[in-house]
Chains A and B, each alone.
Chain A
Amino acid sequence: MKPLVLAMRIRSEQRLDLSPLVPHRLDGTTAGEIARLALQTTRHPITLGDVFRVSAGDPRHIRIEGATDRLDQIGQDMAGGENVVEGDVGKQAGRSMRGGRLTIRGNAGHWAASGMRGGQIEITGAVGDRLGGPLAGETAGMRGGVVVVRGNVGERAGDRLRRGTIIVEGRAGARAGSRMIAGTLILCRRAGPLPGYLMRRGTIVLAGGCDELSPTFIDCGMHDLVAARLMAAFVGEHSRAAASAFRPPLRRFAGDMAVLGKGEIFAPTQ
């Protein structure tokens, strides 16, 4: 069955909340009802039909065409199905997502995958700061699922990561994996300074090294671990570059000793 297609007609002046556009919330609605959904984030009322041309289709497969960075919270609370976005998106894409697959063929703003619990997100472009991180007042960031970013990411990617896997094929900004609680963060190219800043547990892989490693990480030596083979086999389904980051032997750094110190950073031999 053909997907439900939302083609952007005009560029909105105000930021738009696209969180209603997830398969489980649109299931059973008509194209007319979808067009009447309110999206505004200011006092100026705006409906989906004002901005998008709606072509009826299976709401389990949503396709958004011509997206811009004014579109926030795309895929929020998504529980299943598929959402494909052509173009850039704003903040909190895939926020609290629980299942399904969100594909963004463009760049994404800050807090993408924030609080995510399951499913898959693929972003072909770059992503802003705090990928997977918690919003203010929350105790943990991403708690499950897989996020793959083909481009670069901003600062603090994987902040307070609790569970799940984040793969960044491009470069990462400062303090990637800051305050990590658990989970796996794989950075295929060079990372900024202080990766794993105050991490308690979890795994960071620095395939391209980093600008500066905190002195609170302890060199545990070179190792060829079975766990690295398992991780490589899993991430290989999502990213060939990430799988090659586990080529043994890997140097293991334990830290951050400034906090619990039960996390680890793997770095290649060179």
Chain B
Amino acid sequence: MREMTVRGIRVDDSFAEAFTMRATAVIITADSVRWARQAAATMTGFATSVIGCGCEAGIDIELSPRQTPDRRPGVRALLFAVSTGELQKQLQNRVGQCVLTTPGSACYSGLAGNETLKLGSALRFFGDGWQISKRFADKHYWRVPVMDGEFVCEATTGLTKNAVGGGNLLIMGRSAETTLAAAEAAVKAISAVPDVITPFPGGIVRSGSKVGSKYKASASTNEAYCPTLRGAVGTALDREVGSVLEIVIDGLSAPAVAAAMRAGLAAIVKLGPKRGALRVGAGNYGGKLGPHHFHLRDLLA
């Protein structure tokens, strides 16, 4: 594979292949940002991959009281799924079990759009007849009595069918420590980019997968990037690489994913090869499966 070298870091002349997904967003507020984050973190937990979790979800940005409907601190969380039905199911279950249950929380639409998903309209039934509907201008809220007061939830939230899932960076370093440092720097930079999430733990995945398996499984370990198998399999790694980590990026649009990959790549390059990565690549399936191709060469420009 051809490579470019930027400040001592080799960047593969490759591309990330991403897919069109359904996505939605919610704003979660609470009496403090700590509890808003708690609700969002719980809701977006176990949402690393659509393969086994039903959806991919994460916290997009933190919102100041001036940016939220009820003037309390909050966060915006994004959810991605492969179908509208699955996204509706995941949204309803996760907000119902994780946000409704959090002390002092409220939940609002985080995405405008002509197409909508049920939010409070589905959860209102928890009120067992004591729920109250409130409409102001073009907004519709449900007030559900709970033990610490009321859970306020907007009736619907927006749906986009043009979201992009599967933007990625493969970070290759000499040791686990330096590779993790580079990945952490990239995740920190990506967290400042709006409309994207990195759904894996801390934004990083160490078990990159390939499609298919010798067993009855839809995905299995990507042995070409496993350093312990170098020599035993057709490896994609050179001799200096002792550890590989991946950052997967989902965004509400292709430009948002590109901006996130660009920010992550810049952070890795800035950290340099001594403290961080030796090489950066991107995962793809030959370009035949996903309609979105993010070329690392373009993102370095």
Instruction: Indicate which residue in A144, A223, A231 contacts B134 across the interface (CB closer than 8 Å).
Output: A231
B137 contacts the other chain (CB 8 A):
yes
B135 contacts the other chain (CB 8 A):
yes
Q: Which residue of A lies closest to B134 (CB)?
A: A227
Q: Is the interface of B mostly helix, strand, loop or mixed?
A: strand
B151-167, CB under 8 A of A: which get 1 and which 0? 01000000000000000
A22 CB to nearest B CB, Å: 22
B115 CB to nearest A CB, Å: 23
Q: Which residue of A lies closest to B105 (CB)?
A: A226
B33 CB to nearest A CB, Å: 16
Whether B71 lies near A229 (C-beta < 8 A) is: yes
B136 contacts the other chain (CB 8 A):
yes
Whether A230 lies near B134 (C-beta < 8 A) is: yes
B70 contacts the other chain (CB 8 A):
yes
Whether B152 lies near A165 (C-beta < 8 A) is: no
Instruction: Indicate which residue in B72, B132, B136, B137 contacts A226 across the interface (CB closer than 8 Å).
Output: B72
A68 contacts the other chain (CB 8 A):
no
The verdict on A227 contacting B137 (CB below 8 Å), with A201-B132, A233-B70 known, is: no
Interface centre among A201, A203, A230, A264 (most CB of B within 10 A): A230
CB neighbours of B136 from chain A (8 A):
165, 230-231, 234
Could you tell me the distance between the alpha carbons of A148 and B152 in the complex, rounded to whole angstroms?
26
Instruction: Indicate which residue in B69, B106, B135, B149 contacts A163 across the interface (CB closer than 8 Å).
Output: B135
B13 contacts the other chain (CB 8 A):
no
CB neighbours of A262 from chain B (8 A):
130, 132
The verdict on A234 contacting B137 (CB below 8 Å), with A223-B149, A225-B150 known, is: yes
Could you tell me the distance between the alpha carbons of A144 and B136 in the complex, rounded to whole angstroms?
9
Q: How many residues of chain A get a CB closer than 8 Å to chain B's CBs?
A: 20
Could you tell me the distance between the alpha carbons of A163 and B150 in the complex, rounded to whole angstroms?
21
Categorize the interface residue count of chain B. 10 to 19
Q: Which residue of B lies closest to A201 (CB)?
A: B132
A189 CB to nearest B CB, Å: 22
CB neighbours of A201 from chain B (8 A):
132
CB neighbours of B139 from chain A (8 A):
234
Could you tell me the distance between the alpha carbons of A164 and B140 in the complex, rounded to whole angstroms?
11
B106 CB to nearest A CB, Å: 5
A258 CB to nearest B CB, Å: 18
B143 contacts the other chain (CB 8 A):
yes
B115-154, CB under 8 A of A: which get 1 and which 0? 0000000000000001011111101010100000110100
Q: Which residue of A lies closest to B135 (CB)?
A: A163
Could you tell me the distance between the alpha carbons of A144 and B133 in the complex, rounded to whole angstroms?
14
Q: Which residue of A lies closest to B152 (CB)?
A: A226
CB neighbours of B106 from chain A (8 A):
226
Q: Which residue of A lies closest to B104 (CB)?
A: A226
Whether B130 lies near A230 (C-beta < 8 A) is: no
A70 CB to nearest B CB, Å: 34
Whether A226 lies near B149 (C-beta < 8 A) is: yes
The verdict on A225 contacting B149 (CB below 8 Å), with A230-B136, A231-B136, A262-B130 known, is: yes
Chain B interface residues toward A at CB < 8 A: 29, 69-72, 106, 130, 132-137, 139, 141, 143, 149-150, 152
Chain A interface residues toward B at CB < 8 A: 144, 163-165, 182, 184, 201, 203, 223-227, 229-231, 233-234, 262, 264
Show 6 residue pairs from A and B whose CB-CB distance is below 8 angstroms, ordered by the A residue.
A223-B149, A225-B143, A226-B150, A226-B152, A227-B134, A230-B152
Further pairs besides A226-B150, A229-B72: 13, Cβ < 8 Å: A182-B133, A184-B134, A201-B132, A203-B132, A225-B143, A226-B29, A226-B152, A227-B134, A230-B70, A230-B134, A231-B134, A233-B69, A234-B137
